[in-house]
Structure 1
Amino acid sequence: MKKLTTTFAIGFACLAISLTGCKPAPTADSGAADAHQGEAAHAHPTEGPHHGSLIELGNEEYHAELVHDDAAGTVTIYVLDSAAKAQVPIAATEITINATHDGTPEQFPLAASPDENDPEGQSSRFVSTDKELAAHLDEEGAEPRLVLSINGKSYRGTIHHDHDGEGHHDHDH
């Protein structure tokens, strides 16, 4: 009987923990925050504010937006907030896109190019004029990934480059 009581007590404790989880203590606006979290997972835009492809960073803690401009020969990354709407300046002089070309890993740095609203020493925009990077984004098997650090935390995001969504119709896929 003692074994059954112990098993029941452990089972009850596990049930209580699973029902309460590790949620933070409620605050005055926690209902709005919970509703927003549900929306954020499904209601953020499918493209960024500059009409580029979105890249998820962390558990949607941040996003990045990739804008590929064939005419200018540039690849631009904008660092965005969790809702993928507002630019987030970070303290970095460059960020990196890793891609594989013919089975060989390659790294492509994108230099900070601060927007007019970015504070001194920070940038929310990073640019590359490397034509090889632009070509690799569209290659089969390149598996491009963005690597950057925000407030001391490293983030990696898989790049799903959608050429057609950006009005680029002059490439074969």
Structure 2
Amino acid sequence: MKLTNTFYTLALASMTFGLVGCKDGGTTVETSAPPATVDAHDDHEGHAHPTEGPHHGGLIELGNEEYHAELVHDEDSGSVTIYVLNAAATEQIPIESTEITINVKHDGKPEQFKLAASPDATDPQGKSSRFVSTDAELGEHLDDEGADPKLVLTINGKSFRGTIEHDHDHEGHDH
């Protein structure tokens, strides 16, 4: 029995040495990099992100894409409307606020504009998904160099701040 155990031990050791042991000098083991893959976050993990909101306005990211807001600027009337949207930026989300704020810099000084709640017909009582300012000065300041406009609002008790990128075609406009 002792001879059998010794035999198995030697056989196992030689097999292990053969697998792990010396390699002849001319042989190299190459490992290749895994095949290239597309980063799953590039397509936002399967959910689509529109380039504009349901009202054809610019989108504002709130939080880590927890919500979005949409800015619609009517240059003829000077009004600015903000719609609060879901994470996919496809549906309006009514919130419990009577107003929201847009902060801008004008001539190097901070200026604040309040947008009043203007509930859609489908918004429940006491909530609004739409906020409006008829102050033409706000619309003008959104285009100012260095204005750095920020939207500030509270959703379900949590404060959100989003950067407004108000880009539109200026051809034909006399600003």
Who wins on radius of gyration, i.e. which is larger? 2
Question: TM over 0.5: same fold?
Answer: yes
2:45 alignment counterpart: 38
Equivalent position SS for 2:121: coil
How far the C-alpha of 1:90 sits from its partner, in A, is: 0.1
Amino acid at match of 2:63: G
Residue of structure 2 aligned with 1:108, choices 103, 113, 130: 113
Q: Partners of 1:159 and 1:170 in 2: how far apart?
A: 23
TM-score normalised by the chain length of structure 2: 0.72
- Report whether the alignment pairs 1:56 with 2:61: yes
In the TM superposition, 1:19-168 aligns within 5 A as: 38-40=45-47, 43-164=48-169
* Stretches of structure 1 lacking an aligned partner (at least 5 in a row): 1-33
Contact kept in structure 1, 2:77 and 2:136, CA below 8 Å = no
Equivalent position SS for 1:87: coil
Equivalent position SS for 1:135: helix
Q: Partners of 2:129 and 2:172 in 1: how far apart?
A: 29
Amino acid at match of 1:171: H
Amino acid at match of 1:147: V
Equivalent position SS for 2:83: strand
Equivalent position SS for 1:109: strand
Q: Partners of 1:169 and 1:145 in 2: how far apart?
A: 25
Contact kept in structure 2, 1:114 and 1:122, CA below 8 Å = yes
Percent of aligned pairs with the same residue? 72
How far the C-alpha of 1:39 sits from its partner, in A, is: 2.6
TM-superposition CA deviations, 1:82-132 (whole Å, max 9, x none): 000000000000000000000100000000000010000000000001111
Amino acid at match of 2:167: D
Q: Please provide the CA RMSD for this pair.
A: 1.8
Q: Partners of 1:170 and 1:131 in 2: how far apart?
A: 19
Contact kept in structure 1, 2:59 and 2:68, CA below 8 Å = yes
* Stretches of structure 2 lacking an aligned partner (at least 5 in a row): 1-40
Give the aligned length.
Answer: 134
Q: Partners of 1:75 and 1:169 in 2: how far apart?
A: 20
- Give the structure with the larger helix fraction: 1
1:171 alignment counterpart: 173
How far the C-alpha of 1:172 sits from its partner, in A, is: 6.1
